[in-house]
């Protein structure tokens, strides 16, 4: 079974600074998807960024980028120019890319609480 | 475009009772999945429905059951409630099973408290 580990229960960063959230995972599969989801106090999970394991290029979405190290099974999220609206729980998640793998659902880490200091 | 909506937002039950949670998928989505998120934890996959049939299940006992209707709305039923069932229950929809983007669209959840 796949596991996802987020070793930072809480991180704090000054507004406009850069912060990196860590995630490691364990899998025996070679093809999969990795995600970062954001969960603000409103509780609705929102996709921040996704990475396909077969792609070597790291995904970027505006101020959000990832450092995907497949051999190390590491998938960190970098948030540049942090804004107050970035404050939330951030969850790293894994999904198999094999045919029918979507039916296994997403495997989530325990989350990192990100605090933005004004 | 209407997003994923869930009801009720909060509810309180006592141990041994049964509960039904409801979810309306995002327009155009025919796959729905349910997750349980205990306090301070990440969501855990309960099951997924596609074309009104369960096609995937996590490590949850049979007293967790579901339905998907022809309009792609869904229900999660939990029988014989236990204290540990207290959690936020999240519904998520996606355009179709096997969608390679893998992205799920979540509702705001139903907070269940079991006393």
B99 with A43: Cβ contact below 8 A? no
Rounded Cα distance between B49 and B8, Å, is: 20
pLDDT per residue as tens digits for the range B11-27: 999 999 999 999 999 88
B63, B68, B115, B59: which is closest to B91 by C-alpha? B68
Asked whether the beta carbons of residue A99 and residue B98 sit closer than 8 angstroms, the reply is yes
Is B53 in CB contact (< 8 Å) with chain A?
no
Mean pLDDT of B31-54: 94
d(CA A53, CA B28): 27
Q: Is the pLDDT of residue A116 over 60?
A: yes
In whole angstroms, what is the distance from residue A19 CA to residue A67 CA? 13
* CA–CA gap between residue B19 and residue A108 (Å, rounded): 25
Please tell me which residue of chain B has the smallest CA distance to A90: B42
Nearest by CB to A47, which of B88, B103, B108? B103
């Amino acid at each position: 079974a796949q596991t996802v580990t987020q070793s930072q229960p809480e991180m704090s960063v000054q507004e406009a600074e850069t912060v990196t959230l860590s995630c490691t995972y364990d899998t025996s599969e070679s093809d999969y998807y990795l995600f970062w989801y954001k969960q603000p106090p409103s509780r609705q999970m929102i996709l921040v960024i996704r990475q396909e394991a077969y792609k070597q290029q790291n995904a970027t979405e505006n101020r959000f980028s990832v450092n995907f190290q497949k051999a190390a099974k590491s998938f960190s999220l970098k948030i540049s120019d942090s804004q107050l609206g970035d404050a939330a729980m951030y969850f790293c998640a894994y999904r198999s890319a094999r045919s029918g793998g979507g039916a296994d659902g997403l495997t989530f880490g325990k989350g990192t609480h990100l605090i933005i200091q004004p | 475009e209407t997003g994923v909506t869930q009801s009720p937002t909060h509810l309180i039950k006592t141990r041994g009772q049964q509960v039904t949670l409801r979810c309306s998928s995002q327009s155009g989505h025919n796959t729905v999945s349910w997750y349980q998120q205990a306090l301070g934890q990440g969501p855990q996959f309960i099951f997924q429905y596609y074309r009104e049939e369960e096609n995937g299940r996590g490590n949850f006992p049979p007293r967790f059951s579901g339905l998907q209707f022809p309009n792609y709305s869904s229900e999660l039923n939990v029988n014989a409630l236990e204290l540990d069932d207290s959690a936020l229950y999240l519904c998520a929809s996606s355009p179709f099973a096997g969608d390679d983007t893998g992205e799920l669209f979540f509702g705001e959840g139903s907070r269940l408290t079991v006393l």
